[in-house]
Amino acid sequence: MTSHKIEDLHTALLDKLLSESGLECQRSLVESEISEIVPEETEEQVAAEEKAEGLAEALGEEEAATTVEEIEEQKPLIFPTPSLRRVLPDRIRQIEESNRIHVLPKVFNTNIDPQAIPKIAYTAPQKYIDILAEIVGCRKYKSSLGEFWFLDTLANLLRRAQNEEFDRPTQAVLILWFCEWMKEMQHFDAADRQRMLRRFKDNMLSAARFIAVANHLPTPDEAGVYYMSEEERVKSAVSSVVNESKHFVTFEGAAYECSLRDLTKIIHYIFDLFSTDYQYNLVRSVFTFTPEYFLIDSPYQIQRPKRIYAPLKIKPKKDKPKKEPKDKKGKKKEPDTEEYIALMELKARDEKEQEEMELKDMEDYNLRSHILPLGFAATDELFDKYWPPPTPEPEPEPVVVVKKGKGKK
């Protein structure tokens, strides 16, 4: 985590900036599950809000023209640029995705209901993890450690936001920005930490420009921040339209200064996750460069080992025959029962089938593992035509040795 001195310094500078402009943050209370007594607004509060809105509109009109031009100039022609994402064919990227382990869902939900966000401090851990998984769209968090870490980190961010009295719509916006940033870390696999910090700075500046015009905290979609290219967004446009028709995250009753304070806190919440090189490299290696699966074609003998045959136990008959005396030499009588003969026939037949299957599997394995199996494409006659075998050496003729015997006297 970053030092609290930096966060306190930013808060002090923001307080100084707002105090010089005469703006004060006065929130409108939002309904919650816990019943609270809502005090009536005084005339001074209403006058201060009207004054703040007037100043914010004046500042927004002056900066509107310049901010729009800056955004259009900074927009790249090709997004994501090669400095953010590796240039790979779609087919190879699909193969890499299928061979890697699952860490995050392909697309997060954008139809977040602010009233469904649980109170982290007053809810059991297992329950609020299940609720957050349903809100965000994580379906495999019980078997995927990456999704579980994501939900646990999101719960810690919400606990910190609820301790600082964030209302429910602002908590929903925090969830959307955190989901967007995690998908950017996973999607932009060619960017280093400095490049991603520049990207994060641009995202927050675009959100601040939106606040200057609209006077409320924007979602990533409203601020024009996307981790996908325009073509990919068009493909997934159907699902986004359906999601947005159900719930739309807004920040009602918030003034310019309240939105700036909340945006500053959201920046610190997310930045604390990768404030050091070690934290950034750790999170990046888990969600971007996940380990791959290695498919091993094991031999047939390992996949289907031979069965172990146990001799059949012969049940003793009621009328036990008398034991025959052993031979003098001590040899045992060979078993000649029908069960034993049937077992031997079954074993011989099974071994024969096993050998045939092994030969067939060996041929299939050779066909898969060789690009050009010449052993099956040509016979010995074809090779003998071009490389004839050497002529055999002539066999030496047998020599008859005649033994000289002694003559008779």
Residue 320 lies in a domain: no
In a domain, residue 246? The reply is yes
pLDDT for 1: 47
Q: What is the pLDDT of residue 157?
A: 93
pLDDT of residue 26: 58
**How many structural domains compose the chain?**
1
Predicted pLDDT of residue 156: 93
Residue 152 lies in a domain: yes
Question: Is 123 a domain residue?
Answer: yes
Q: What is the pLDDT of residue 155?
A: 94
Look up the domain containing 151 and give its range. Answer: 4-30+45-287
pLDDT < 50 positions in the chain: 1, 28-46, 48, 52, 55-56, 58-59, 62-73, 238-248, 252-254, 409
pLDDT for 216 equals 84
Asked if the peptide bond before residue 316 counts as cis, ω within 30 degrees of 0, the response is no
pLDDT at 388: 85
Which pLDDT score, from 0 to 100, does residue 59 have?
A: 45
Residue 349 in any domain: the answer is no
- Give pLDDT tens digits for 169-203: 999 999 999 999 999 999 898 888 888 889 999 99
CA distance 365 to 300: 9
The predicted pLDDT at position 133 comes to 94
Asked if 159 and 171 count as a contact pair (C-beta separation under 8 A), the reply is: no
Domain-embedded: residue 142: yes
| Residue 162: inside a domain | yes
Residue 374 in domain? no
Give me the pLDDT at residue 253, please: 42
